[in-house]
Amino acid sequence: MRKKENGFTLIELMVTIAVMAIIAMMAAPSLMPLVYKKQLDTSARELAQTMAKVRGTAIALRKEVSLEFKDTTNTDHQFYWLPGNDQIHVLAKATPEGITFSPVGLANKRTTSLKRYVRNPNYDPNLDEDPLTNPKLIIEWQDTEDLVFELCHEKVREIKSIKIFKSGLISNIETKEKVGSCT
């Protein structure tokens, strides 16, 4: 009588692991856009939380407190923030743009700029499109008194836009389509 053996052979285990590895390698590239979108979403939420912290600090200290987009050490009345990922950028015409909160938590008026692409009036359709000599679209900065801050991920076709009420509270975080590059 032959003894019944339970379990798998080493070859069966190796083949199973190899097949699973191949499937994982095929799935990974299709998951990367989801990872990039999550990174952008996380950065937008971090910025919103930092703004809320800066506003709370202004109220607690009863003095003006600002937030700027630089990589510097925070002080008691000046906060700095940059995204934790090098592929995420704050869209700003002139750095440092930021926000200042009054001693009662109101967002002080500060002109910010929104980046948009418009058709180049000098574009020549008879020539090949060249970003330097014959661009089809050009950057136009639109100044706005609405306190809007936009984050962009290099590998995602969307922008996260954070709008602040004059009261200093965050209105919403909106997703917009990205046109052109982040820089």
Domain range enclosing 114: 31-177
Provide the mean pLDDT of the chain: 84
Residue 117, domain member (yes or no): yes
Indicate the pTM of the whole model: 0.69
Share of the chain above pLDDT 90, in %: 26
Residue 11, domain member (yes or no): no
Total domains in the fold of the chain = 1
SS3 3: coil
Average pLDDT over residues 65-87: 88
Taking only the tens place, the pLDDT of each residue in 136-165 is 888 777 766 667 888 889 888 888 988 888
The whole-number pLDDT of residue 41 equals 93
Q: What are phi and psi for residue 138, nearest 5 degrees?
A: -125, 160
Measured from the Cβ of residue 51, the count of other Cβ atoms closer than 10 Å reads: 24
Strand ranges across the sheet with 98-101: 78-80, 65-68, 98-101
Taking only the tens place, the pLDDT of each residue in 99-135 is 889 999 988 766 566 667 788 888 888 888 887 788 8
Q: Which residue has the higher pLDDT, 93 or 139?
A: 139
Residue 21, domain member (yes or no): no
Residue 158, domain member (yes or no): yes
Residue 16, domain member (yes or no): no
SS3 45: helix
CA distance 60 to 111: 25
Residue 137, domain member (yes or no): yes
Q: What is the CATH number of the domain that holds 99?
A: 3.55.40.10
Residue 19, domain member (yes or no): no
Residue 9, domain member (yes or no): no
